[in-house]
Amino acid sequence: MVKYIYEHQNWTDFSWNEKAINSLFGEVKLMQGKIIGQMNALGFSTKEEATLTTLTLDVVKSSEIEGELLNYEQVRSAIARRLGLNTVGLVPSNRHVEGIVEMMLDATQSFTEPLTEDRLFGWHAALFPTGYSGPYKIEVGKYRAGEMQIVSGAIGKEKVHYEAVKPEFVKAEMDAFLEWFNSEDQLDKVLKAAIAHFWFIIIHPFDDGNGRIARALTDQLLARAENSGERFYSMSSQILVERKRYYQILQKVQHSKNDITEWMLWFLECLKNAMFSTENTTNRILQKAEFWKLHESTRINERQRLMLNKLLDGFEGKLKSSKWAKITKTSSDTALRDIKDLIEKGILIQSADGGRSSSYTLSDINCSK
């Protein structure tokens, strides 16, 4: 029978092939420096916008990996309020969203603080404020007391993908993990982030929420690597894109002795891809900053500002006056007046359809980038 990695003696003495990862690791470090350099050349408000967008994506996508769809605007508003950002169009968010945001911001904004058992328990409690995961009551704010198996398939035909560390050993395993996590060693923080993610997932210390907490720990160590709570790329967004491979690699490496080369390669490749994809986000943020600079003297009301920001953020579908009225909670007449005013100012253009099917987009002069 094939053993799990934790069943081997000294299983946390992880090793990997330096030659195999060196080239990829070098690319990641180069891109990391390039992104930080680009962002530091931007204005303060643009950097704030980039961090807000990235953190929002991180929270939304990390939950989506677990099959949970959060409201983007609620998450964005919760983050903006907690960071004290003066952003237009904030909406109320529920207790569940607030809890997930609280965990992510504690990980990324207080990245220099030691990771303690109490802090982890606080994160877990924030993820499950009602003590339930869906319809199931779970142990909250404490390590699990029961067996943990990851299974799939119909009842009676279940396939066990993973059986985690026995509950009686979780505390000792986590003590060792926390001591290592907080230690000042020579290991590069990017590599440490890769190891921390894998190590935590293998222990699976909680009844639920292990994936989200593992990704928060990854973000905390990446923030330490950059010595900054400003986030400009989303690892969780990329893990969601590569989710199938993510689970395949975990399943394969969980049976190794302690050589985690394949995991390190996958993690670094995923991180590199996350940094690549941030270029699109950055371009959109730059376009947004340029737009508002161009229109800093233009008279624009709060409803118009809210809708223009939505268009600049990549509004999905066609923008019609009915959608405008619904989102801004106003009448059809007011929505149409707002739109016509922006058309006269050369900011919006009307589609050729005309009539009731008319839709509106930003004019080319405002979309130069």
The domain that contains 349 carries what CATH number? 1.10.10.10
In terms of domains, do 198 and 344 share one? no
Task: Check whether residue 349 and residue 247 sit in a common domain.
Answer: no
Q: Report, as an integer, the average pLDDT of 258-271.
A: 98
CA distance 220 to 212: 12
In a domain, 109, yes or no: yes
**Prediction pTM value:** 0.84
- Residue 96 maps to which CATH number? 1.10.3290.10
What's the token pair of residue 98? 């607030």
Residue 78 in any domain: the answer is yes
- Could you tell me the sign of the dihedral formed by the alpha carbons of 176, 182, 187, 192, in that order? positive
| Confidence band, pLDDT 50/70/90 cuts, at residue 112 | very high
Q: Are residues 235 and 181 in the same domain?
A: yes
- Residue 83: its pLDDT value, please? 95
Half-sphere exposure of 142 (CA within 13 A, CB side): 8
Among 166-170, 272-276, 365-369, whose mean pLDDT is lowest?
Answer: 365-369
Lowest mean pLDDT among 203-217, 231-245, 312-326: 312-326
What is 287-349 written as a DSSP string? HHHHHHHHTTTS---HHHHHHHHHHHTT--S-B-HHHHHHHHT--HHHHHHHHHHHHHTTSEE
Q: How confident is the model at residue 316 (pLDDT cuts 50, 70, 90)?
A: confident
Structure tokens at 343: 């058309």
| Last-in-domain residue among 287, 313, 344 | 287
Provide the 3-class DSSP secondary structure of residue 162: strand
Task: For residues 337 and 304, give the distance between their C-alpha atoms in angstroms, rounded to a whole number.
Answer: 10
Question: How far apart are the C-alpha atoms of 79 and 106, rounded to whole Å?
Answer: 11
Neighbours of 167 (CB within 10 A): 14
Is residue 197 within 8 A of residue 190, CB to CB? The reply is: no
Nearest CA-CA partner of 7 in 164, 207, 171, 198: 164
- Tell me: do 184 and 256 sit in the same domain: yes
122 and 177 belong to one structural domain: yes
Distance CA 304, CA 281 (A): 22
**Nearest residue to 48 (alpha-carbon basis) of 20, 89, 79:** 79
Number of domain units in the chain: 2
Whether 369 shows a pLDDT value over 60: the answer reads no
Share of the chain above pLDDT 70, in %: 98
CB atoms under 10 Å from CB of 100, counted, come to: 26
In a domain, 359, yes or no: yes
Q: Where are the alpha helices (DSSP H) in 227-300?
A: 235-241, 243-253, 261-294
Q: What is the pLDDT of residue 160?
A: 87
User: Are residues 309 and 162 located together in one domain of the fold?
Assistant: no
CA angle 127, 121, 182 (to 5 degrees): 120
Domain annotation covers residue 292:
no
> 274 and 219, same structural domain?
yes
Share of the chain above pLDDT 90, in %: 78
In a domain, 295, yes or no: no
What's the rounded mean pLDDT across residues 353-364? 81
Element (H, E) at 144: none
C-alpha distances in angstroms, 262 versus 6, 130, 253, 271?
Answer: 17, 38, 7, 14
Please count the CA atoms within 13 angstroms of the CA of 61 that sit on its side-chain side: 20
What is the reported pLDDT for 60?
A: 97
User: What is the model's pLDDT at position 1?
Assistant: 73
Q: How far apart are CA 315 and CA 361, in angstroms?
A: 10
Whether 244 is covered by a domain: the verdict is yes
pLDDT at position 357 is 73
CB-based contacts of 31, cutoff 8 Å, min separation 6: 272, 275, 276
Average pLDDT over residues 215-223: 98
How would residue 365 be classed by pLDDT, with cut points 50, 70 and 90? Answer: low
- Per-residue pLDDT for 88 more than 90? no
Averaged pLDDT score across all residues of the chain:
93
Residues 310 and 251 occupy one common structural domain: no
Contact 310, 323 (CB under 8 A): no
Structural domain boundaries enclosing 45: 5-287
Q: Which of 236, 296, 299 is nearest to 271 (CA)?
A: 236
**Is 293 a domain residue?**
no
Beta carbons of 234 and 274 less than 8 angstroms apart: yes
Decide if pLDDT at 234 tops 70. Answer: yes
Write down which residue in 254, 287, 320 finishes a domain. Answer: 287
Domain boundary (229, 258, 287) is at: 287
Lowest mean pLDDT among 46-55, 149-158, 167-176: 149-158
**Domain presence at residue 296:** no
- CA nearest neighbour of 166 among 148, 180, 182, 184: 148
Indicate whether 101 and 166 sit together in one domain.
Answer: yes
Cα 161 → chain centroid: 25
Cβ atoms of 253 and 5 closer than 8 Å: yes
- Measured CA to CA in angstroms, residue 68 lies from 52, 145, 365 at distances of 21, 25, 39
Considering the domain architecture, whether residues 247 and 345 belong to the same structural domain is answered as no
Same-domain pairing of 110 and 259: yes
Same domain, 330 and 237: no
Q: Is the pLDDT of residue 148 over 60?
A: yes
